[in-house]
């Protein structure tokens, strides 16, 4: 009887993971979860919110892993370059990139302003692309890497007041396919995770409206909105050796919303 096991590891031991938008909500949970899975973590946050990383860094260090809090102001490409240079200096490499930072400015399609449209697309799509490009070049030099884009179920279905947001997330879902295709020959996988409505500061105002909350819950067959903890398993899995043959995929964490 051989001692060899068949299940590939779902751990991230020895890796360095960059997580954008890590001071709040889903990104905060992901930053802590990748550390729990064994990775050193680079939680990134806007310069004016860097203090939000204190709690995250404490939680990362409590797992025994290193934390390298870093400023990142999307979609400023100079800021992205500075982040990558800083990580190269401090950690030497980037094995996992989680593009999580994002915003939503809900408005009826008839009323969306040019400023609102640009703001949402700038962070959610342009910022995500150039972060992927700059980190992707480093992963090309390494000939390995995992990119995980936090898209949304709203990248594959529509919802009210989300013309700009759904457009940005639909863009992320298809950009994920392009990068997966172009970077496969460098052993870089690129996948997305598409959460349903998750209770975070981003969605607080939506859930403050009882009618809207009822509508949203009625569309989730599992009968509840998600918590940040509901998203982290999908991210860690896609970053782990167990997902080595998966690329270009969007893994929906939607409680069944898109089954209907
Ligand atoms: N909450 C949900 O229901 C939900 C559902 C599906 C997808 N998502 C996606 O998950 C991601 C995280 O959302 P969340 O709910 O945790 O929101 P959140 O508002 O709690 O966190 C968003 C984070 O992104 C950062 N960020 C925003 N603009 C930035 C910028 N210009 N540069 C750098 N960082 C910036 C914020 O500072 C914050 O840390 C987003 O991409 C969001 O679209 C959220």
Judge whether 113 lies within some domain.
Answer: yes
Q: Is the CB of 202 under 6 A from ligand 1?
A: yes
Closest ligand 1 atom to Cα of 201: 20
Domain containing residue 78: 16-249
- The helix (run of H) or strand (run of E) holding residue 215 is helix 210-218
Residue 210 has pLDDT above 80, yes or no: yes
Judge whether 27 lies within some domain.
Answer: yes
Strand pairing report for 96-99 and 145-150: parallel
Q: Is the CB of 197 under 6 A from ligand 1?
A: yes
Tell how far the Cα of 21 is from the centroid of ligand 1, in angstroms: 6
Q: Is the CB of 43 under 6 A from ligand 1?
A: no
Residue 64: what pLDDT? 98
- Mean pLDDT rounded to a whole number for the chain: 97
Q: Is the CB of 140 under 6 A from ligand 1?
A: no
Judge whether 257 lies within some domain.
Answer: no
Catalytic, 165? Answer yes
Q: How far apart are CA 250 and CA 238, in angstroms?
A: 10
Residue 4: what pLDDT? 85
Strand pairing report for 16-19 and 96-99: parallel
Residue with CA closest to ligand 1 atom 19: 202
Residue 2 has pLDDT above 70, yes or no: no
Residue 1: what pLDDT? 54
Tell how far the Cα of 10 is from the centroid of ligand 1, in angstroms: 25
**pLDDT tens by residue, 97-147:** 999 999 999 999 999 999 999 999 999 999 999 999 999 999 999 999 999
- pTM score of the predicted model: 0.98
Residue 32: what pLDDT? 98
Please, which pLDDT band fits residue 243 given cuts at 50, 70 and 90? very high
- Region 166-181: mean pLDDT is 99
- Region 85-100: mean pLDDT is 97
Strand pairing report for 70-71 and 96-99: unpaired
Q: Which of 25, 97, 100, 164 to mutate to test the pocket of ligand 1 (most atoms within 8 A of CB)?
A: 25
- Region 169-191: mean pLDDT is 99
Residue 157 has pLDDT above 80, yes or no: yes
Judge whether 256 lies within some domain.
Answer: no
User: Of 24, 127, 114, which is closest to residue 73 (Cα–Cα)?
Assistant: 127
Tell how far the Cα of 6 is from the centroid of ligand 1, in angstroms: 37
Which pairs count as long-range contacts for 50-59, CB under 8 Å and 24+ apart, including other chains? 50/23, 52/23, 52/24, 53/22, 53/23, 55/28, 56/22, 56/23, 56/28, 56/31, 56/32, 59/31, 59/32, 59/35
Judge whether 136 lies within some domain.
Answer: yes
Judge whether 255 lies within some domain.
Answer: no
Residue 3: what pLDDT? 76
**Structural domains in the chain (count):** 1
What's the CATH number where 221 sits?
A: 3.40.50.720
Judge whether 10 lies within some domain.
Answer: no
Q: Which of 18, 20, 23, 27 to mutate to test the pocket of ligand 1 (most atoms within 8 A of CB)?
A: 27
Q: Active-site residue among 165, 183, 197, 257?
A: 165
Structure letter (DSSP) for residue 143: T
- Region 85-99: mean pLDDT is 97
Closest ligand 1 atom to Cα of 26: 16
Cβ contact 224:255 at 8 Å: yes
Judge whether 42 lies within some domain.
Answer: yes
Q: Is the CB of 83 under 6 A from ligand 1?
A: no
Please, which pLDDT band fits residue 21 given cuts at 50, 70 and 90? very high
């Amino acid at each position: 009887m051989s001692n060899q096991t068949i299940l590939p590891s779902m751990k991230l031991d020895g890796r360095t993971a960059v997580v954008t938008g890590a001071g709040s909500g889903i990104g905060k949970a992901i930053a802590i979860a990748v550390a729990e899975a064994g990775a050193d973590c680079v939680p990134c946050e806007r310069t004016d919110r860097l203090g939000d990383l204190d709690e995250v860094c404490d939680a990362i260090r409590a797992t025994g892993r290193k934390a390298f809090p870093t400023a990142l102001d999307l979609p400023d490409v100079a800021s992205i370059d500075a982040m990558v240079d800083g990580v190269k200096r401090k950690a030497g490499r980037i094995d996992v990139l989680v593009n999580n930072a994002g915003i939503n400015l809900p408005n009826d399609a008839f009323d969306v302003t040019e400023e609102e449209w640009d703001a949402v697309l700038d962070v959610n799509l342009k910022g995500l692309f150039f972060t992927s490009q700059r980190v992707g070049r480093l992963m090309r030099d390494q000939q390995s890497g995992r990119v995980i884009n936090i898209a949304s179920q709203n990248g594959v279905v529509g919802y009210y007041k989300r013309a700009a947001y759904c457009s940005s997330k639909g863009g992320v879902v298809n950009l994920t396919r392009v990068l997966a295709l172009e970077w496969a020959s460098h052993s870089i996988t690129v996948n997305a995770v598409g959460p349903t409505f998750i209770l975070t500061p981003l969605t607080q105002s939506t859930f403050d409206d009882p009618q809207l909350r009822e509508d949203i819950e009625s569309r989730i067959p599992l009968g509840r909105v998600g918590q940040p903890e509901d998203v982290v398993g999908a991210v860690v899995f896609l970053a782990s050796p167990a997902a080595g043959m998966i690329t270009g995929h969007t893994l929906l964490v939607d409680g069944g919303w898109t089954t209907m």
